[in-house]
Amino acid sequence: MCSCLWYSTGRLIAGPTSAHCPVTQWRITAQAENTFCGDEASSIVKECVDVILGGVDYDDCRVNEWMSAVVEQSLTHLVKMEKAFKYIVTCTVMQKRGGGLHTASSSFWDNSTDASCTVRWENRTMYCVVNVFAVAIHL
């Protein structure tokens, strides 16, 4: 038996009394659909980086073009997942010459809904680091 009360806007004002309540199942499904999956995002980004940088050697004249392509294609594929997030994608490409690369980021967000992932990729001539930040859209 379910004792859900709803406003006309669809907001729950009294919770269900049964785990088998269709409203409870809808809420669980909606929550899962709007959870950021770092593994899925990483897989998307890795594929984009592989396609764009996989067969090339570092070329200073083309780095800006490659970075733009990585962030634009990654963002396009992330948005196609149709999750309730705003995405921020950054890309750093660095030639392999033995030097160090240090980066840092900080965020003030809701750890229960917002998340990020980092993809590190390299070939024999360059490193690529892509960060994806997913900030939940609360409707």
Q: What does the pLDDT read at residue 34? A: 74
CATH of the domain at 110: 3.30.1140.40
pLDDT tens digits for 5-15?
333 334 444 44
Same domain, 57 and 4: no
* 54-to-35, 79, 86, 125 alpha-carbon distances in Å: 30, 23, 28, 11
Same domain, yes or no: 112 and 54: yes
pLDDT of residue 65: 98
- Clarify whether residues 16 and 63 are in a common domain: no
70 pLDDT above the threshold of 50: yes
Same domain, 123 and 58: yes
11 shares its domain with 45: no
User: The domain containing residue 19 runs over which residues?
Assistant: 1-33
Does 74 share its domain with 130?
yes
Total domains present in the chain = 2
Tell whether 23 and 40 lie within a shared domain.
no
Together in a domain, 8 and 53: no
- Let me know whether 104 and 45 are in one domain: yes
48 — pLDDT class (breaks 50, 70, 90): very high
In this prediction the pTM is: 0.76
Question: Is the same domain home to 83 and 43?
Answer: yes
Please determine, for residue 28, whether its predicted confidence score (pLDDT) is greater than 90. no
pLDDT in tens, 83-125: 999 999 999 999 999 888 888 888 899 999 999 999 999 999 9
Instruction: Quote the pLDDT of residue 92.
Output: 97
In a shared domain, residues 64 and 29: no
Q: Do 29 and 46 share a domain, yes or no? A: no
Q: Which of 24-28, 38-42, 94-98 has the lowest mean pLDDT?
A: 24-28
Write down the pLDDT at residue 105.
Answer: 87
pLDDT band at 44 (very low <50, low <70, confident <90, very high): very high
